[in-house]
Amino acid sequence: MSIRQIPPFQSLIAFEAAARLLSFKDAADELFLTPPAMTYRIKELESMLGLALFNRTTRGVELTEVGKQYYFDISKTLFDIQTATKNTMTSQQSKPLKVQMLPFMATEIVIPELSNFYEKYPDIDIQIDTKYSMANFQTEDVDVAIRFGSGKWDDLICEKIMPVSVSIVCSEQYAEEHQIKSLEDINQCTLICLANDKYNWEVFAKQAGLKTIKPQRELHFNDYTLCLRAAENHSGLTIGVFPLIDQWLNSRRLICPIDLSLDMQQAYYFAYQEKSDKVDKIQIFYTWLTEILVSK
């Protein structure tokens, strides 16, 4: 790839902030820029791409469909750059706290707040590893695992950090087009499924009291973000996990078409080894994480 194809880094930083905050003004304040400078950087990026990333409205700005996808990709890339930079700057004497978690929790909950953590605890470095399988503390180099389940894992201290409920979610347009008024109506819809997830649509239907489930068709993805994105783009219904996706509903990217919420027996847990040599860092990270979860 030619370096000429890479946008100016300051424009990418400006775009990420504006897309995350959905406000040029707030993004300018966060980056200590003047509003004209922020506008220039966004226009510079749009000009290079030849695409509009934002729709300007009388009430502010909103991401175009292209802008949403670009934000999703760029935010991950900037996080990787941030992580690589932090790892390079880390001294041999300062071992990072290695945290393993599910990808969606990392991108939606933890990554947006990492700057807050580093501001409070500049001497603690965090290394995040995302994967779906449960961390094996005996064979993997990991200090903390944030996992969904029963919390009954041998030889680990497991602190519950987030109870979970589930509901049906889709786009407002999809709900209107398919006249979704009751639980039975899901049989006339496309169901978006997370591949290899133990809590699937059949389990949901049984818990909700629906005797049979025969959808119009099914779509399968191996990543929960893709399930939500498909639902956001009017492709069908998916299972919303709360409070993990609260922001998606607050921004009206998704809605709950029927008034149904099911509590799950499983929850999110903060797991670590009692005899860890990083117990002080672990406790600091635990306290910080629980504080941001409460604030969501």
pLDDT average, residue stretch 157-178? 95
Q: What is the pLDDT of residue 106?
A: 92
Give yes or no: residues 172 and 226 share one domain.
Answer: yes
pLDDT band of residue 89 (cuts 50, 70, 90) is: low
Q: What share of the chain has pLDDT > 90, as a percent?
A: 68
C-alpha dihedral over 151, 153, 156, 162, to 10 degrees? Answer: -20
pLDDT one-digit tens code per residue, 139-157? 888 999 998 888 888 789 9
Task: Indicate whether 81 belongs to any domain.
Answer: no
Q: Which pLDDT belongs to residue 93?
A: 46
Distance, in Å, from the CA atom of 196 to the CA atom of 32, rounded to the nearest integer, reads: 45
Instruction: Tell me the pLDDT band of 92, cut-offs 50, 70 and 90.
Output: very low
CATH at 26? 1.10.10.10
CA–CA separation, 110 vs 33, rounded Å?
25
SS3 212: coil
**Non-local CB neighbours of 52 within 8 Å, separated by 6+ positions:** 46, 64, 66, 67
Residues whose CB is less than 8 angstroms from the CB of residue 258 and which lie 6 or more positions away in sequence, other chains included: 168, 180, 181, 182, 183, 185
The CB-side HSE value for 135 (13 A sphere, CA atoms) comes to 27
pLDDT band at 136 (very low <50, low <70, confident <90, very high): confident
pLDDT of residue 94: 65
Q: Give backbone dihedrals phi and psi of 119, rounded to 5 degrees, phi first.
A: -65, -40
Q: What is the pLDDT of residue 131?
A: 85
Residues 20-25, mean pLDDT to the nearest whole number: 93
Same domain, 100 and 247: no
Residues 6+ positions from 164 with CB-CB distance below 8 Å: 148, 241, 242, 243, 244, 263, 264, 266, 267, 268
**212 in any annotated domain:** yes
Total residues found in the chain within this entry: 296
Contact 151, 272 (CB under 8 A): no
In the block, tokens 């790892």 appear at: 87
When divided into structural domains, the chain yields a total of: 3
Mean pLDDT of 253-264: 95
Among 58-62, 123-127, 165-169, the minimum mean pLDDT is found in: 58-62
pLDDT at res. 82: 87
Domain with 63, as residue range(s), is 3-74
pTM of the model: 0.63
